[in-house]
Each structure stands twice: as C-alpha cells, then as structure tokens.
A and B are shown apart, each in its own frame.
Chain A
Amino acid sequence: MITTTGLTKVYRSRGREVTALDGVDLHVREGEVYGVIGQSGAGKSSLIRCINLLERPTAGTVTVAGQDLTALAGRGPRAGRELRQARSRIGMVFQHFNLLSSRTVQDNVELPLEILGKSGKERSRKALELLDLVGLADKAKAYPAQLSGGQKQRVGIARALAGDPKVLLSDEATSALDPETTRSILQLLRDLNRQLGLTVLLITHEMDVVKSICDSAALMENGRIVESGTVSELLATPGSELASALFPVGGEASADDRTVVDVTFQGEAATQPVISQLSRTYNIDISILGAAIDTVGGLQVGRMRIELPGRYEDNVVPIGFLREQGLQIDVLGQEPVLLKEGAQL
C-alpha cells in the first residue's frame, strides 16, 4: 500500500548538510498497522512527512495505493493539483493534534470536506457520523480548548478520516497523552484498522505502541531502517534489537563461567515443557534469571532468560537441543551464529 524506494532527504542550511533519511526502503502492506520506531533525530518525522510529500524527498520514490506521488510533485516547491488530490486521500494525525482553535469540533472535522468542495449538508452529515465513530458525538459544538488531550486526538482522527482515506499516517499521535489515554487512542486506531480496512503507518518512540497494535515494525537509526518485518518475523530473528526491546527480559549471569541464554517461545513451541526436558536429558541445573509472557501484535509470546553451568563451549549440545525444539535461542555474548543460515532459509 505504501512503498518507498531509496528515499533520501538531505537538509541544506548555510552550507551545512544534514542527512535525515539515507536510502529508506519501506513496504507497508494493505490493511496492516506498521510502526516505525526510533529515537528522536533518527529521521522518523522526515520519513512520515515524505510519505505525503509535506517534505520533498531529495531522492527516491514514494508510492501510495499504486500512485507514484514523487512523480506528481513536479519540480516547483508548491504542491500541484494532482498532488493535493492525492494528499486528500491520505489521512494524517499529529502529535499536537493541530486543531483550529477558532472552529468548533464539528467545523474542524468538516474542514477537509470544505477543501474537497462538499456541500454544507453533506459535510455536517459526514462530520457527525465520524464524531459518532470516535465517540464524541456530544462534543460537536464544543471548542478544542474545552476538550482533554485524548478527546482532541479523537477529533484529529475523525478529521483525518473525513476524506475516506485508505491510508492513515500517525505522527507520534499518542506521545503527548498519558498512558491510559494512549491505550484508548491505540484501541481506536486498531478498531478503525479492522473495521475500515485502513492501512496505518505510525511513527513513535514508545515501544509499547508497537507492542500493542502493530502487525509489522521497523527500527530506524541515523536515517536508515536497520531492522524491519512482521512482529513474529522479528521475534524469530536471532539477535534482533527490536525483538529484545519489544520483549525485554532482565538478569545478569551469577558467575563468569556460566552461559546465559535467551529463549523465545512462539505459538506451538510455547506448549512444550522444554526446560524440564533439557534438565532431565542432559542432567544439568538450570536457573531462570527472568521470564515473561505477553501478547505482542496479537501473538502469544514467551521469553525466558536461563543460565547454564559452564562456558558456551561446554553447552553446545544442550543449546543445540533447544534449537531443535523450534525455539528462538540467543546466547548472550555470542554472535548469533545462525543468522546467516537463517537468512538463507
């Protein structure tokens, strides 16, 4: 639904060049919720602004719903008619809501419809329908200043949906909200994604956002995407930073001559009593340093950090046994040896 190839953005000011995006290839499938996570300054904001060409990419292409937006942009700095039409079919939600304080809630939602040239009757019908959808039907006549942060973001979402978009871009939509409100806004986005088949691309610096609603995720660092894939693919990737950040387990080795292993269970594998099998088969004592079970992107996942006596060399066979059980094994302090073979598979 959204594809970028070699997307590059270089900011030039007073002879200095700052590369915000450095050849980003992104592929968001239709109907999924895709999260791009990274620290501030990683280039997330530039990326999402390049998708609807609020920022002109220096190089590369952006395709949304089969339409090459970079081709529509033309050379001039201003957006032509075709690009503006394409933008009106892409909804966007902002961190600071960006509602017009001089307009009522209903008039704010009607704004995109005014731009589309819809009649007054149609505008108010659509706006009230959308406000009902986001649960704010009773606030139609209120002004944004009278609403709470979560309510403002609901208005922002209703407004973004006014043009019946297939794609919704969310620029840190929950970063200005408290955890409780964040949850309800994410739930709303999830519901809209399911009910309307809306494709959602969101950028965030909060791992919890990715954890609770994303089907796929990408990690951005210094203008590049360093990891990407569906959540289960990521969890199955040895040494994935994103996976361990999504699902952290703590615990330090109790002595130098121990081997610490992270075991990740997914789906079927989670039902096997592997640890006790391991202990009995090889007659070794296993300590559990940390463990957690959680739902990530609608997927039951368990992760456990265990400690085996002896160094890695002494534990090659038991670790091999764990791998045979179809578990995801990361040995701490060891290069993920299966990475290359895994990539070939």
Chain B
Amino acid sequence: MQPLLEQACWDTLYMVGWSTVIAVVGGLPLGILLVLTDRGGLLQNVLANKVIGQIVNVARSMPFIILMVALMSFTRWVTGTTIGREAAIVPLAIGAIPFFARLVETAVREVDGGLVEAVQSMGGNTWTVVRKVLVPESLPSLIASTTTTIVALIGYSAMAGTVGAGGLGDIAIRYGYQRFETELMWLTVAILAVVISLIQFAGDYAARSLHRRGGRSGPGPKLRLLKASTATTKTV
C-alpha cells in the first residue's frame, strides 16, 4: 500500500509541477498581453484583444474532462502517447494557461497607471514597463494566482487519472471507489488535503512577505485600517 501511495504522490507532483511551469510560462505573457492590448493600453489593439480574450474564454469554460478528450490527437503528436503522466501534462497545461492568464490579467490591471506613466516619462519603452513595473509590482498577486492555479491543477490531475495518468486521484477512484477500499480512499483524501494546505500556506506566506516589504494594499494592513476606522467612529 505504501509504495503505491508514494508512487501516486510523486506522479501527482510531477504532473502538477510541470503543468504549472508551462501554465506560468504561457499564461504570464498572455495575461500581460490582454492588459496591454486593451483599450487605452500601451499596445492598444482592439482586434487582437478580442481574439485573445475569446480564445481564453472558450478554453476556460471547457470542462477539463472534455478538453482532455478533445486534445487527444494533439497529445499524441506531442508526447507520442495518450496514456501516462507525460501525456496528462499536455491537457493539464493547456487547460491551465487560460486560467492563469485571466488571473494574471486581473493582477496586472491592479498596478497603478501612474507608475507606468512615470517609467514612460523616464524614457522607458513598453518592454521596460513590463519588466520594471507590471511584473515586479504585481508579484504578490502573481504568486497568489500561481497558488490558486496549482490547487486547481491538483483537482484537474485527478480527472487525468481517467486516461491512466496515475497520481492520487487515480488511486482514490480505482482503489477507493471501484474496489471499495474506503480506507485507502480516505487516506488519499487526507494526503491531498495536507498537500493542498501546504501549498496554500507556502503561497500565502510568500505573497504576504512580499506585500509586507512593499507595504501597499496588503490584506493585513487593510484589515487593520478597517478596525481602526470603526474604532474611531465608535469613539466619535
């Protein structure tokens, strides 16, 4: 039982790890492009914005299990097979790219336009704005978005078990559900809960420590501000 679970854990981490890397590499530029090409953006291009936005929307609204089946021939072309953890990475990554791109878009939009203006006034070009302002200033939000994406990918990876990808979700379904080994199922559920909690904790910690350094609009100070203001209204 133990080697089985251990292997499943590694498979899940392997699939989720690689698909996260690909999702970030693909989704980050896509999300930034969505902001830049929008009306009033630095690379304003309404047509491109509409096209990218539409592709992202369609890909996002597609149920993952259907996306996986629909992508089978593409997966075979890329990895040579449609079975196994490598094959699962393809639909996982493709499903996560638009998901992450939307989160990136929201995060980057939050960056104060005045900072962009400041860099432009120094003679910076669009690339400088992206590198020196948009990415570093939205980094805490980007890390939080990555955490959300990883957690979502762990969910998706269970579905990938249906194409023989392995991993914890696969164990839960095959042993727990189909063979009525309830104990094993609860064990995988527990492991998943622990893994997700750890990832969420690490992500939150990283985002918060960056926020604390920057000190602007972090969740902590905002809450405190709220408390302070209610306190003052009470005394008044």
Bound complex: CA A159 to CA B125 (Å): 17
B216 contacts which of A77, A92, A103, A145 (Cβ < 8 Å)?
Answer: A145
**Residues in chain A near residue B133, CB distance under 8 A:** 100
Q: What distance in Å separates the Cβ of B146 from its nearest Cβ neighbour in chain A? A: 17
Contacts of B44 in A (CB 8 A): 77
Contact code string A90-128 (vs B, CB < 8 Å = 1, else 0): 101010101011110000000110111000000000000
B63 adjacent to chain A (CB < 8 Å): no
In the bound complex, what is the Cα–Cα distance between A92 and B117 (angstroms)?
10
Task: Indicate if the CB atoms of A98 and B120 lie closer than 8 Å.
Answer: no
Question: Known contacts being A102-B139, A102-B214, A146-B215, is A87 close to B112, with CB within 8 Å?
Answer: no
Alpha-carbon separation in the docked complex, A79 to B136 (Å):
23
Taken together as a complex, chains A and B put the C-alpha atoms of A103 and B114 apart, in Å, by 16
**Residues in A whose Cβ lies below 8 Å from that of B122:** 87-88, 92, 111-112, 115, 159, 162-163
Confirm or deny: B70 has a beta carbon within 8 angstroms of a beta carbon on chain A. no
Interface residues of A in 46-105 (CB under 8 A from B): 52, 54, 77-79, 84-88, 90, 92, 94, 96, 98, 100-103
A242 to B130, CA, bound (A): 43
- Determine if A101 and B215 form an interchain contact, defined as CB atoms under 8 angstroms apart: yes
In the complex, chain A residues whose CB is within 8 Å of the CB of B136: 100, 102-103
Q: Are A98 and B123 in contact (CB under 8 A)?
A: no
Q: How far is the CB of A213 from chain B (nearest CB, A)?
A: 21
Q: In this assembly, does B115 line the interface, its C-beta being within 8 Å of a C-beta of chain A?
A: yes
A52 touches B121 (CB 8 A): yes
Specify which chain A residues have a CB less than 8 angstroms from the CB of B25 in the assembled complex.
none
Q: Once the chains are docked, how many angstroms separate the CA of A173 from the CA of B219?
A: 29
B220 to chain A, nearest CB (A): 12
Are B125 and A84 in contact, CB atoms less than 8 angstroms apart? yes
Looking at B112, B114, B137, which has the most chain A CB atoms within 10 Å of its CB? B114
A312 on interface, CB distance cutoff 8 Å: no
What chain B residues lie within 8 Å of A84 (beta carbons)?
123-125
Contacts of B210 in A (CB 8 A): 102
Q: Kindly provide the distance from the CB of B126 to the nearest chain A CB, expressed in whole angstroms.
A: 7
CB-defined contacts of B42 to chain A, threshold 8 Å = 78
Which residues of B202-228 are within 8 A (CB) of A? 210, 213-216
Task: Give the residues in chain B near A321, CB-CB below 8 Å.
Answer: none
Cβ–Cβ contact A143 & B114, under 8 A = no
A116 and B125 alpha carbons, distance in the complex (Å): 11
**Are A111 and B120 touching (Cβ within 8 A)?**
no
Q: Are B214 and A98 in contact (CB under 8 A)?
A: no
Bound CA span A271–B93, Å: 84
For the complex of A and B, list the 3 residue pairs with the smallest distance between their C-beta atoms, beginning with the closest: A145-B215, A88-B123, A101-B214
20 A-B pairs with C-beta separation under 8 A: A78-B126, A86-B123, A87-B120, A87-B121, A87-B122, A92-B118, A94-B114, A94-B117, A98-B112, A98-B115, A100-B133, A100-B137, A102-B213, A111-B132, A115-B128, A143-B215, A144-B215, A146-B215, A163-B122, A163-B123
Known: A100-B137, A146-B215. 13 other contacts (CB 8 A): A87-B123, A88-B122, A88-B123, A92-B122, A100-B136, A102-B139, A102-B210, A102-B214, A111-B132, A115-B128, A116-B123, A143-B214, A169-B121
